[in-house]
Chain A
Amino acid sequence: MAESSETLLETPLASLHSELGGRMVPFAGYSMPVQYAAGIMQEHLHCRAAASLFDVSHMGQAELVGEGAAAALERVTPADVQALKPGRQRYGLLMTEAGGILDDFMVANLGDRLFLVVNASRKHVDLPYIQAALPAGVTLKPLPDRALVALQGPQAVAAIATLAPGIADLTFMGIGSFEIAGVKALVSRSGYTGEDGVEMSVPAEQAERFARALLALPGVQPAGLGARDSLRLEAGLCLYGNDIDETTSPVEAALTWSIGKRRRTEWNFPGAGRVREELANGAKRLRVGIKPEGRQPARGHTPIHAPGGAAIGEITSGGFGPTLNGPMAMGYVAPEHAADGTALDLMVRGKALAARVAPTPFVPHRYAR
């Protein structure tokens, strides 16, 4: 471990994790539960069957306020922030000048301000980067005193709607404020599992009470980062630092859908030159889903070869999908090997493991659109 336990930060739910038997591991500078007593497999399957509670308080939350906040944010992202209606949230990318991905993030229009959620491992990079791009009159306000929890699964919204019925009226990527178990929560109908569900920002000092109220709802069980990772990979969603980073472009990462249509006529975001060039002439590599044949998983950094041939790429995330009931991965390959069904060799411990390019998600999304 690179970091000693003394230097790790804790979320406001640290004592609850301990009480629930959470197995704590270092993640992005925080001590986080990788799993509880049930184990990753059961926690994963429970989320697909009922509802699971995740502590994601390590993520960075912030507000952007002031006249022209949306236009200001567009100085660092190709997302169409100005078209985002009040009560709606959107996925976006923060871009480097060189056309790499600085981070991926969520932005919501709360009417009088924008609400941002960025990755834990990147918040110390992102927030100064956004700050530096702001004109006078627009202010970035980090929200370190707020916790973030996700309730995910086909029963998640029905369960929480017993405490706040209005949540059931949100559609996918809708956001609003609700009072839940006496706690004022900012609730968005979104998540990182491919399931229906909500992500909720609450004051840190009320987070434990809030989480206990959710765990008391029928069908709700806690789930750790291990299940979060296998769920998001089945859903085909990128993990920053694995699947996308400052070297990958939105075109390579197959995330061009997050670039607003208007932004593709203006080309006024960082790295627009590279994106434009790759859209016109093709990228040198593409992110694809990959299904190994058989049962053996291929993990991140596994070399990808053409069958019996040369290296053509690398796995960036790989594991076993409990719902898929088989191994799955994503990675980058040269464009001529990126079509669905293309045969690949994954070089696992020096031996070729046969695999094919496969469409993602591996498990269909079940969002409330």
Chain B
Amino acid sequence: MSETKFTKDHEWVRLEGGVATVGITDHAQNALGDVVFVDLPDVGRTVAAGEAIAVVESVKAASDVYAPIAGKIVEVNAGLADNPGTINSAPTTDGWFFRIEPADAAEVAALMDEAAYAAFVDTLA
């Protein structure tokens, strides 16, 4: 089982078999509230680290989701179209957003680990 890494934009990233799966954290889904729609990137798109590539819409507002690393989108979670609430109920498992083939896997290693992310979230309170 690969280690899960985190960004300051509240995405989680899990590198397995050379592909990084990306979603939003429990903290993020809780702050957003009930998700009603997700706009996901096209498969095959090349993205830069920090680029806004998805949008998550709650009852109240729209929020960007960023590419945590540079690379190519190889898969998106098609199940979210019919069940966007999965992002609230299972943010770090079935509620994943997209998979990226990293341009440089070292970019994943450089992200925050779980303890560092937890400490970061504490600074926001």
Contact = CB atoms under 8 A, between A and B. Distances in A.
A207 interface: no
B34 A297 contact: no
A39 B57 contact: no
A296 B60 contact: no
Contacts of B84: 295
B94 to A, nearest CB: 18
Contact of A320 (B36, B39, B55, B81): B36
A298 to B, nearest CB: 9
Interface in B41-79: 55, 57-62
A363 to B, nearest CB: 14
Contacts of B117: none
Contacts of A299: 61-62
B42 to A, nearest CB: 12
Given A296-B39, A299-B61, A299-B62, A349 B34 contact: no
Main secondary structure of the interface of A (DSSP, over half): mixed
Classify chain B's interface size.
10 to 19
Contact of B57 (A44, A230, A297): A297
Interface residues of A, number: 18
B60 A40 contact: yes
Nearest to A25: B60
Interface in A216-274: 226, 229-230
A319 interface: yes
A34 B60 contact: yes
A320 to B, nearest CB: 4
Query: Which 9 pairs show the lowest CB-CB distances between chains A and B?
Result: A41-B34, A320-B36, A40-B59, A295-B37, A296-B37, A320-B59, A226-B60, A39-B33, A297-B57
